[in-house]
A and B are shown apart, each in its own frame.
Chain A
Amino acid sequence: MEKRLPKNIKEVEEVRIETDLLIVGGGNSGCFVAIEAKEKNPDLDVTIIEKAHIDRSGALAAGMDAINTYIGEGETPETLVAWSRAQVGGGPLREDLALGNAKILNGCVESLEKWGVPFIKDEKGRYKKRGRFDISIRGEQLKPIIAEKAKSYNPRILNRVTATNFIKDGDRVIGAMGFGVRDGKFYIIKAKATVVSTGGAAGLYRSPTNDGTTSHHQMWMCPFNVGSGYSMGIRAGAEFTLMEQRWCAARVKDFTGPVDTISVGYKARMINSKEELILQKRYSHLGGDTAPRYIRANAPMGEWNDGRGPTYVDTRHLSPEQVKELKIDYLNERPTYVLFLAARGQDPAKEPLEIYGSDPYIVGGHTSSGYWVDIDRMTTLKGLFAAGECAGGMPNKFVGGCAAEGVLAARGSLKYISGVGHGNINEEQVAAEKQRVFGPLFKGLNMEAKYNIPSGQDPRWQYDGITPEEMEERLQRLMDEYTGGVGQFFRCNEEQLNYAIKHIKIMKKQVERLFANDLHNLVLVHDVIDRLDVSEVVVMHLRERRETRWPGWQTRTDYPDKNPELDCFINSKKNLSTGEIEMTKRPYEQILPGDRTKSPSPVPLSVEKA
């Protein structure tokens, strides 16, 4: 089917939909929102807009080999939350959100098994533990199974429609706008309540595996999760929290894939070039193998920085059967790592596997970045709810916690919907967004015909503007070098951050020069605009946290220690009259008593996540 592009804004068709509940992003969380909403009220009109196809969208596209949060025997919601708190060095975190989530977590995880996902069992028939709150699954079909369940309730699913901005009625969100990636139409979806459940933000930073050609997207987090959920909220004036708490992790080197599979699942310890156990040798005062997550994440880059690289997870104790099991785990999560080992001709039982730092990601399902929400998961904008990677304040959600948060956001939305009607659409707002969305498409139009340029020639020579790839690479270089990317061993200082802010502002002025020659490139244009908006907020947060609270995740060379006065949430909000990002602080409230930096008993396994 040949796609016909509109030639001017008047030719862009509009699709107008009115729905009760709009879900922006049909990944794991978004599907759980739909399922819960339809379970509670089958008559509710529910709409999911999804940039890709919900059968294989989001971070779970390739599959999963584990559920990283499940409350097994001997554990309680409280021990999970206290453990999670220790993993982020004592917080700050939203213990209220985390406790609410933990209480319904197991039900969500168990439903995955009922719907068809195979779980690995131990000899007593219980879920087999991989780590303390970590259980193993065969999750190759995880996303298709979740999507099937969501589809069985017949919500309206708009695949290949990407959201670009919320519709606002005063300070209330009354739906969202976006465009059809395939049909080129402009979608205006009015909703009584809206849940934002897109992925987090990858590709703000340059990946260490990116050589610019065919390895551009060789990264851990899904590179099509560009932070649109955050950027739409930023542009609408929502409040965000802990955007400086970046997820930087130890990953398998030259692949930037998961490491937990090996280090947790097979008790493979981190070593350096001198065969020293890194965590025991350098970080025993912080807990060694059970040091907080950011310490373990940062450890390999610390070794490289000090001249003791390469770094590895030592797999040489594995039996041939264990190597096979290890490969099956990867085939369920990131299958091409098995291909990578084959392409290196490498046997993990003979050679340890190299590890390295990842590029930093903003992922509120892993660390705590995201929208500031209330207990119902409503953001600071009325009618807008957040779940999964989008909702901030609660780290270590992973698949189970993101699913549970979908359920909670659905319940919050239903409560809200019961008391409101539809808002009023301001047509000027809609027209302005339509122009913003489609404008880049009309810039280089018909250049081939007009100037006799052979088609297929590099579009940069057809229209004198900026391609989305160029701006993306400019941003990624800037973020890596000046705001603590892996290329700088995750470190930055005030001057570097000021430099980054200055250059992000220049780029933001130049977004009007971006152009697209087809709908796919139009997606890329809006991807980079969204990444710019998220990056600006991330950098403002990194600057505001003038201390080092989570080395690796957030390291300030000019403020190397923790500052007790900053034991709080750093929040931000765009001032919609000035366009400036304004910073605020909110206090941390401890609910669970005890030492915040200590994992509660029972005593964890000797090797935890790395």
Chain B
Amino acid sequence: MPPYVLKDKCDGCKGKDEPLCEQICIGDLMTLDHVTGRAYCRSLRDCWDCMSCTKICPKGAIEQRIPYQLGYHGAKLIPMIGTDSITWTCVDIDGKVERFTYRTRNKK
């Protein structure tokens, strides 16, 4: 399933050898476009939609999309990562918003 890179948010993780999405992508799919300086997915068909890139992006510049063959356009699922918790915001195609917050790590 294709990740969508928001052009006004992605800065290609300036100063790093590789953007974080490229470092983490399990399928070796996210990479840097040297012309635009932004990250992109080199093969949309090959994404498994694990959302590792979306979660690790420090700019919140990656959104996941459902392939249109399977789900309609316009829904969103945005993670906000905390130290030991996560908050997800989900918007459906009718604009209904849901939020989910829970612990992802035990307190040390």
| A residues adjacent to B (C-beta < 8 A) | 1-2, 52-53, 55-58, 61-62, 113, 116-118, 138, 140-141, 145, 160, 181-182, 209, 211-219, 222-224, 254-255, 324, 327-328, 331, 334-336, 338-345, 520, 523
Contact = CB atoms under 8 A, between A and B. Distances in A.
Contacts of A255: 70
The 6 closest A-B pairs by CB, nearest first: A343-B71, A342-B92, A216-B45, A342-B75, A62-B50, A343-B75
Contacts of A55: 24
Interface string B18-48: 1000011111110100100000001111111
B5 interface: no
Given A343-B72, A343-B75, A138 B104 contact: yes
Interface of B: 1-2, 17-18, 23-29, 31, 34, 42-52, 64, 66-77, 79, 86, 88, 90-94, 96, 98, 100, 102-106, 108
A118 B46 CA distance: 31
B106 A56 contact: no
B77 A338 contact: yes
Nearest to A346: B92
Residue picked from B24, B28, B46, B91, most chain A C-beta under 10 Å: B28
A58 B48 CA distance: 11
A116 to B, nearest CB: 5
Contacts of A327: 90, 98, 100
A217 B90 contact: no
Contact of B106 (A52, A118, A340, A342): A118
Contact of B25 (A52, A113, A141): A52
A345 B93 contact: yes
B77 A217 contact: no
Contact of A224 (B2, B27, B93): B27
A213 B49 contact: no
A324 B100 contact: yes
A138 B79 contact: no
A342 B69 contact: no
Contacts of B1: 214-215, 217-218, 336
Given A335-B77, A339-B71, A520-B29, 18 more contacts: A61-B48, A62-B52, A117-B105, A217-B27, A217-B45, A217-B49, A224-B27, A327-B90, A327-B98, A331-B86, A331-B88, A334-B49, A336-B64, A339-B75, A342-B75, A343-B70, A343-B71, A345-B92
A217 B28 contact: no
Contacts of B102: 138, 328
Residue picked from A113, A160, A209, A218, most chain B C-beta under 10 Å: A218
B71 A56 contact: no
Nearest to A339: B77
A331 B77 CA distance: 10
Contacts of A331: 86, 88, 100
A213 B45 contact: yes
Contact of B67 (A52, A61, A118, A213): A213
Nearest to B52: A56
A361 B70 CA distance: 22
Nearest to A344: B71
B42 to A, nearest CB: 6
A336 B66 contact: yes
A224 B49 CA distance: 12
A345 B104 CA distance: 27
A374 B34 CA distance: 51
B26 A56 contact: yes
Contacts of B77: 335-336, 338-339, 342
Given A214-B67, A224-B26, A345 B72 contact: yes
6 contacts: A61-B48, A140-B104, A215-B69, A336-B66, A345-B93, A520-B28
B50 A56 contact: yes
B74 to A, nearest CB: 8
Nearest to B42: A520
Contacts of B72: 343-345
A1 B76 CA distance: 32
A405 B21 CA distance: 31
Contacts of B23: 53
A216 B45 CA distance: 5
B27 A211 contact: no
Contact of B100 (A1, A217, A328, A523): A328
